[in-house]
Structure 1
C-alpha cells in the first residue's frame, strides 16, 4: 500500500485547465501497471492539487490485491487544504468499526492556566476512600466545566474545517469556471 504525492497523472481525466493537454506519465503509469497496484478510491474532490487555473490529481492511494483483500472497507478522503496547494489524504482502514464505549477521559494541560481552575479543583475534588471513583467524579465535573468555559473545541474545529472546505470548493469552482470562460473565448 502506498499513499504518495506522485507528481504525475495516470489519465487525462486527472487534469483540468492549463495550457497543455493532460497525458499519462509513462514511467509512473508503467510502474503502477507492472506492480499491479490499484487505486483504493476516495471521497471528496477529484483533484488533489491546484495552482491558478490548473487542477490535477497528483496525490494518490494505491494498493495491491493483498492489501485490498485484507482491508476491503478502507477509504481515502481528500481533506481540505490548509497550508499547502495539496489536499491531505486521510486513510480509514475499516469503516465498519463502531466504538461502543465512551471516549476515554483526557486531561487538557491548558485547564491549569485558567484563572478559576484552582477554585474549581478545591470545590470538586473529594476523596471518597476509592481513588478510582473519586477520579471518575472529578473527570465528570472537569468535562462539564470544560463545556462551560471552552465549549466543544472538537465540534468547533470540525465546523471550521467544513467551512474551509466549502470556501475552497467555491474558490476552485470559480477559478475553473473563469478559466473555462477564458478558454472558450480564445477559440
Structure 2
C-alpha cells in the first residue's frame, strides 16, 4: 500500500499542541495541494482564514459574545495557529450541499497534509460557528458559512500515538439492494 494510506491510518486528533506552527509559506504549499479535492464545475467554494497571535483573542471575545458571556474565551489560545474553514457558496447549478462538501474536503485533506508534515491538528466546531458575532469577526459574506477551525501546533514530545480502533468497513460498505420483483 502507498504512503497516502499509511498517512490516513496514522492520523489522529491532537487536543494539546506546542507553540510551534507552520509558517505562512509552509501553509500555502499545503493549501495548494489540499485545494485539489474533487470540485464539481471547479467552483472553489471555500476559503481559509489564518488566525495567529492576537487574532485568536479577537475570536475568543466573539465566541463569548455568541455565548452571552463577557470577556474572551481561552479556547482559541489552545493552538498557535487556527485555520478557519469557510464555505463560500457560488451561484451555480451545483447545489449548496455539494459546495459545502468541497469545503469540508479541503479542510480534511489539509488536516491530513498538516499531520503528515509533523503538525498536530484538531478540527473544532461548535454552535457559535453559526453566530453573528463569530461571522462578523471573520468578515464572512452573506453567502458564506464557517465550518469550524483547524487548530494547528507542534506535536508534543514523548506522547505515544493515540490508539484508535480501526473502522470495520464491513459495517459501512454494502451492495445496492436488488429491486423487488413486484415494484
Question: TM-score, normalization: structure 2?
Answer: 0.23
Larger CA Rg, structure 1 vs 2: 1
Higher relative contact order (CA 8 A, sep 6+): 2
Question: TM-score, normalization: structure 1?
Answer: 0.22
